[in-house]
Structures are given as structure tokens and as C-alpha cells.
């Protein structure tokens, strides 16, 4: 639990304009992180929708990669 760090967390979240219920600060780390990330990014459905819409499928992209010339590697 993050009870000793809850004030620091509240301040950080306030800077991000995220407010949580008092009970959320008593959660274990993983559930608390999920709540904070949902508040910051929104529901994960939007992220999945964005990925499926804008990231090309591996099959479509493979043809493009094969057709591109090899670029020199610069170290």
C-alpha cells in the first residue's frame, strides 16, 4: 500500500488534474495504477481502437518492407 506516499501522489495527480476517491489511495499498487492510467488516458478501448485503425497489419506492412531498398547502417 502507498499510505505513506499518498500525499505526494495526491499532489502529483493534482498537477495532472486527476482526482481520485479517498478509497483509491488505500488500494494496492496495481489496481491503483490501473485507476490512475484510466483517468489519464481514458478507457483502454480507445487505445485498442486507435491501434487497430492506424497501425498497419503485419501482412500489409511486410510487402512494403520487402519492396524498400536496404538503407546503410550508420554507427
Q: Which residue has the cell 506516499?
A: 5
**Residue 8, SS3 per DSSP:** helix
Per-residue confidence (pLDDT) for residue 20, from 0 to 100: 92
CB distance 1 to 26 below 8 Å: yes
Per-residue confidence (pLDDT) for residue 71, from 0 to 100: 66
Q: Which residues of the chain have pLDDT under 50?
A: 1
Per-residue confidence (pLDDT) for residue 4, from 0 to 100: 59
Distance CA 12, CA 55 (A): 32
Amino acid at each position: 500500500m502507498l499510505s505513506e506516499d499518498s500525499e505526494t501522489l495526491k499532489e502529483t495527480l493534482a498537477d495532472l488534474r486527476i482526482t481520485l476517491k479517498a478509497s483509491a489511495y488505500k488500494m494496492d499498487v496495481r489496481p491503483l495504477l490501473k485507476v490512475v492510467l484510466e483517468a489519464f488516458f481514458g478507457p483502454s478501448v480507445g487505445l485498442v481502437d486507435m491501434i487497430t485503425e492506424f497501425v498497419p497489419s503485419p501482412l500489409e506492412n511486410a510487402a512494403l518492407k520487402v519492396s524498400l531498398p536496404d538503407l546503410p547502417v550508420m554507427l
